[in-house]
Amino acid sequence: MGFARKKIALIGGGQIGQNLAMLAAMKELGDIVVLDIGDFVNPIKGKALDLMEMAPHGNYDANIVGTGDYADIAGADVVIITAGKPRVAGMTREDLLATNIAIIKDVANGIKTHAPKAFCIVVTNPLDAMVYAFYKLTGFPKHQVVGMAGTLDTARWRAFIAMELGVSVSDVAGTVLGGHGPDMVPLPRLTTVGGVPLAEIATKEQIDKLVLRTREAGTEIVKLFGRGSAFFSPAWSAIIMAESFLKDKKRILPGAALCEGEYGINGLFIGVPLMIGAKGIEKIFQIKLTDEENAMLQKTAGVVKNTVAETKL
């Protein structure tokens, strides 16, 4: 007896990890293991049990467990990594580097040993450097490692456009490229609302304001929280990526992938449009950018390069 379900391992059972567990359950993506450390192990076991007890009303079948032992992630199809400290007000994502690189080293080691075939989605900040570090430390093939940032940045861009214009967010389509920081590159030129180019229904002032708000969206939330950073929208964004992999949906989503010549960028993880399917990252799309857009992308790549250098990997 037993179930032939997919298996999802969540490394880090904090704000994002807990929401990931709930969303993965409600979407019936498979069985779920949430791993945390030290004093957080018993609480995550309790929260996993709480989610099992939610199942009759949530109407899902899934085995959900909390653990402190990497052996329990064995056989995972997908691993989502949120282990690490979030920001407090006044911090940049880069300020987290020293603390979180030590955590990623530990996590990379555990995943490499116990789930070496899993598709890995890194969420820990500073994102572009942490996904690079994870890739270097595990030695996994590049199609097996992705950073979750562009999918969230694009969700924020779409949400702000819908809020500003008073239209359905379902009709807003667009993408955000680059690093997960204030230099990210939303692309208004390629954004549409129900097929109508954004520039035809929003003024330049509105668009400039929306670009700025998107770039600072994470910080806007950190300021309101005081301690900690966004968790609902990051969790949904990572789940969308995991779902596309698990169900071979081949969604086109922006995410941080290892670029080796794409967009003239070499050896860095940076947010670009990807196709995610059963093989992991199945394709990187190269959009023809204007000179101005390309200059912005090269600028954000320069920022990412400096942060990556600090990992000393």
Beta-bridge partners for 81 = 11, 122
Nearer to ligand APR, 84 or 277 (CB): 84
Any catalytic annotation for residue 143?
no
Q: By CB under 6 A, is residue 20 in contact with ligand APR? A: no
277 touching ligand APR, by CB under 6 A:
no
Hey, which residues between 46 and 85 contact ligand APR (CB under 6 A)? 82-85
- Environment class of 298 (CB within 10 Å of its CB; exposed 0-12, middle 13-18, buried 19+): middle
User: Nearest 5°: phi and psi at 79?
Assistant: -125, 130
Looking only at the bridges linking them, the beta strands covering 31-35 and 185-186 are unpaired
Rank residues 106 and 310 by Cβ distance to ligand APR and give the closer one.
Answer: 106
Alpha carbons 115 and 113: distance in angstroms, whole number? 6
DSSP state letter for 124: P
Query: What DSSP string describes 220-268?
Result: HHHHHHSBS---HHHHHHHHHHHHHHHTT--EEEEEEEEEESGGG-EEE
State the number of binding residues for ligand APR (CB under 6 A): 29
**Residue 231 sits in the site that holds ligand APR (CB under 6 A):** yes
Question: Residue 12 or residue 181: which is nearer to ligand APR going by CB?
Answer: 12
Scanning 35-43, 132-140, 156-164, 297-305 for contacts with ligand APR by CB under 6 A, the matching segment is 35-43
Nearest Cα neighbor of 306 from 186, 179, 193 is 179
Nearer to ligand APR, 106 or 282 (CB): 106
Site string (130-169) toward ligand APR, x via CB under 6 A: ----------------------------------------
Query: DSSP per residue over 39-52, as a string?
Result: GGHHHHHHHHHHHH
Query: Does residue 86 interact with ligand APR by CB under 6 A?
Result: yes
Decide if residue 128 touches ligand APR (CB under 6 A): no
Q: Tell me: does residue 16 bind ligand APR (CB under 6 A).
A: yes
Q: Identify the residue among 30, 40, 135, 259 touching ligand APR (CB under 6 A).
A: 40
Contact yes or no for 296/285 (Cβ under 8 A) = no
State both tokens at 199: 């520039």
Asked if residue 37 binds ligand APR (CB under 6 A), the reply is: yes
Binding site for ligand APR (CB under 6 A): 11-17, 35-37, 40, 82-87, 96, 100, 103, 106-107, 123-125, 228-229, 231, 234
Which residues are identified as catalytic? 180
